Structure 1
């Protein structure tokens, strides 16, 4: 029994000339990417693109144009300083876009539960709580704190209870705190002249690093104040980084220090061993940035190289060796389990866990141990009009494959799927034009045109239930011409 495709979307791939594709792949032209993150990017034309569980490669969000910055937590800011929230529905490729009221000209978005925003003037705003939960489309001013340059969130607990806490860095170098349940703000003891906050550590202007505990002993009420203590073995530090379990610091000689938890055991039953004393790691030099990603230390050096070493061991020795991951890198963005890097030629590359297509490479391999290219953000137009795609263009073997169900419908074709035979069909029965029926067997990859087999060099493939196959022959049979415009990173389809 035939039915219109729902969960399985048909994607027909566009084959462009090998010469044009090869030229686009091998020529280091100016990058079209204005900024990027770990799951999204903004092009120089202000278009916004995402990838992840529902979109395995960069896919344009057509409702968002004129974007200037990505704020994180699925929020972006436009040229007019308005803020917008985008969300991808579970088990669907549909993306919803909503305006966010109450904030503009945002410098940072941070937090869980109540989301906090800091604007360029140092004012703090909080998302509003409703009966359904926290409304991320509406923010209201937070009273009692101002001139804020940064905010960090963490969870503090004892043997009986716990609470969400915030620490605020003010422009005068002082640090203040409150809990999710308290509206009053108190200074963190011993912290002044602070230049950087990371979770539960602070860097002072004099290069010393200070910390305060997340876990307290006892069962009584948690104290409302925080008191910081100096980490004695660290001095002349110029930057710090911390996640929930581990910490890193870079000193004024660009040397890297590590302390915190190492990991042993299995992924479903890890054992964390804490090492409170910082260790100087001599296996990497000239470090500019460093992060903990999944169970690895990732170091980005001043000569444009990225290195990695594992913390899956009982302890990290001072002379631990680092493996080179990439060269010619100009910037790195880190996630909890993966990184995205941009190289000098403007291309993006990903490394790390990829189970939810975090690397934008076009697959769902659990992890890539060597860097893989993020697919290019390529758009599709029909007769000059941009075509919204449920999933973006995938390039393989120097050829572009594009999901085009909506394009086929605009071209007068109908797309359907036979679950029993695993066959997708594209049919056209338009008055005055020859009837056309194209059948794609999802299981075998075979294609027929009006029941006649079609031979082609690049076989169809599927990614997350979406079928991709060569298109030039098919599109021309439907009365269209196809052009690849490499300078615009656009595939232009025009009806004859």
Structure 2
């Protein structure tokens, strides 16, 4: 445990935290590389490996690859982006602990990496796969999210489907089986957003209502209850203006349409951003600002972007309130992987920083970085 805490503290130091927690705590300015097409990356999802989509629809991956989770046909760690399959047909991607789930532009669903918990939805004889495998034959998939060892996908008709690890009932399909082997529908409601965590899951229905299911050891469901788990979706409050959620390791973050952000669950590292380290079992607003654009939960930390393009981080036992990082005002999106951050700027592409012992930064090295490092555009 002491080693884990040390790792977390080091990680947060790498994303620019210091002994001060005010907005004057900034990262060093970065020099913009000279490149003809700076804004080539459109999305990224990270864990101990990263997978990203370029604006041309090509798919790229890097980082750890023990179970084939990169999908490049090998089990070799990659320290810089390598293209996955030939072509520019990818639309959405989400990575789990050791697997990857993605949607192509034709609406088909694909998975690769570990199959220990049936994440690939294929015969148990197949323990892992290092190239993309199509899941079923449907071509109407719209959105994907992976928990640590599970998969969720939403179809264009709003139906939600789940499979893989079901620890604590975190698939929400009403059973306590540890593994659900088939792609199974979650209720009959219409969904627009889903986020799978370690042992719990958050979802938003098309009416803007918030729902949660799975483990509840630290109040991460947000329903104010003390039950250890629920294997069916439970409505959280009565608000109908939720637009995105992020589930992580026993804590939850969410964004409303009015620009406010909210947190609940485990808070021993200040990861809820509410100014203390006490767990809460109902959504509580993070600060008073109402100009947030996006946010993402990491291991015991979080990162968010405001409408003005500024980047903010909190958690990890150092900052218990959102703390601005850097002076730039052109950040568009940020996500947090295992002890590192990946963020996209509006006019200058992808940047990563933090731990890099698994090549998860994608900069061609395994050297940790304490300031943003530019990840070049790739030719597909």
In structure 2, what is the Cα distance between the partners aligned to 1:104 and 1:130?
31
Instruction: Note closer, same or farther for the CA distance 1:352–1:205 as it changes in structure 2 (3 Å cut).
Output: same
SS in 2 for 1:232: coil
Q: Does 1:142 align with 2:136?
A: yes
- Per the normalisation by structure 1, the TM-score is 0.47
**Are residues 154 and 365 of structure 1, via their aligned partners in 2, closer, same or farther at CA, if it must alter by over 3 Å?**
closer
Give the whole-Å Cα distance in 1 for the aligned partners of 2:158 and 2:93.
20
Contact 1:355 1:367 survives alignment (8 Å): no
2:115 counterpart of 1:118: no
The counterpart of 1:89, out of the listed 73, 76, 84, is 76
- 1:443: which partner in 2? none
Larger radius of gyration: 1
Is 1:69 aligned with 2:54?
no
Q: Distance in 1 between matches of 2:286 and 2:325?
A: 15
Whether contact under 8 Å (1:194, 1:205) holds in the other structure is yes
Q: Which residue of structure 1 aligns with residue 267 of structure 2?
A: 262
Q: Which residue of 1 aligns with 2:189?
A: 192
Q: 1:67 to 1:136 in 2, by over 3 A?
A: farther
For 2:41 and 2:322, the matched residues in 1 are separated by: 32
Aligned-pair CA distance for 1:364: 5.7
Mapped to 2, the partners of 1:94 and 1:31 lie a distance apart of 18
Select which of 307, 310, 314 maps to 1:305. Answer: 310
For residues 152-199 of structure 1, give each alpha carbon's deviation from its aligned partner in whole angstroms, at most 9, with x where no partner exists. 3446xxxxxxxx54433222222233446655554323x623111111
**1 CA distance for matches of 2:98 and 2:128?**
7
State which of 289, 292, 295 in structure 2 corresponds to 1:290. Answer: 295
* Counterpart pick for 2:258 among 253, 259, 267: 253
2:89 maps to which of 93, 105, 115: 105
Map residues 129-278 of structure 1 onto 2, 5 A cutoff.
133-137=127-131, 139-142=133-136, 147-154=140-147, 165-179=150-164, 182=180, 184-189=182-187, 192-199=189-196, 200-214=201-215, 226-232=231-237, 234-264=239-269, 274-278=279-283
**Separation of aligned partners in 2, 1:287 and 1:113:** 31
Distance 1:236 1:32, change over 3 A: closer
Tell me how far apart the structure 2 counterparts of residues 305 and 129 of structure 1 sit (CA, whole Å): 46
Whole-angstrom distance in 2 between the partners of 1:205 and 1:94: 38
Q: Give the 3 Å change call, closer, same or farther, for CA 165–108 of structure 1 in structure 2.
A: same
Change (3 A) 1:325 1:247: farther
Instruction: Kindly indicate whether the alpha-carbon contact (under 8 Å) linking 2:359 and 2:366 is maintained by their aligned counterparts in 1.
Output: yes
1:220-244 per-residue CA deviation (whole Å, 9 max, x = no partner) reads xxxxx95211111654212222223
Separation in structure 2 between the aligned mates of residue 104 and residue 183 of structure 1, nearest angstrom: 30
Aligned mates of 1:274, 1:134 — CA distance in 2:
37
Q: What value does the CA root-mean-square deviation take over the aligned residues?
A: 4.7
Structure 1 position 309, deviation (Å): 2.2
Per the alignment, do residues 138 and 206 of structure 1 end up closer, same or farther by CA in structure 2, a change over 3 Å counting? closer
Which residue is equivalent to 1:393? none
| TM-superposed deviation, 1:305 | 0.8
Q: Are residues 202 and 95 of structure 1, via their aligned partners in 2, closer, same or farther at CA, if it must alter by over 3 Å?
A: closer
How far apart are the structure 2 equivalents of 1:136 and 1:378?
Answer: 21
The superposition leaves residues 406-444 of structure 1 with CA deviations (integer Å, 9 ceiling, x where unpaired) of xxxxxxxxxxxxxxxxxxxxxxxxxxxxxxxxxxxxxxx
CA contact (8 A) 1:248 1:259 kept: yes
Residue-pair matches, total: 292
Q: Following superposition of structure 1 onto structure 2, how do residues 470-481 of structure 1 map, counting pairs within 5 Å?
A: none
CA contact (8 A) 2:305 2:334 kept: no
TM-score, scaled to structure 2 = 0.59
CA offsets per residue over residues 308-356 of structure 1, 9 Å max, x none?
222527x95xxx3533434222423423132233445526543433445
Please, which runs of 5 or more residues in structure 1 have no aligned partner?
A: 1-24, 41-51, 54-65, 76-82, 156-163, 217-224, 266-271, 380-496
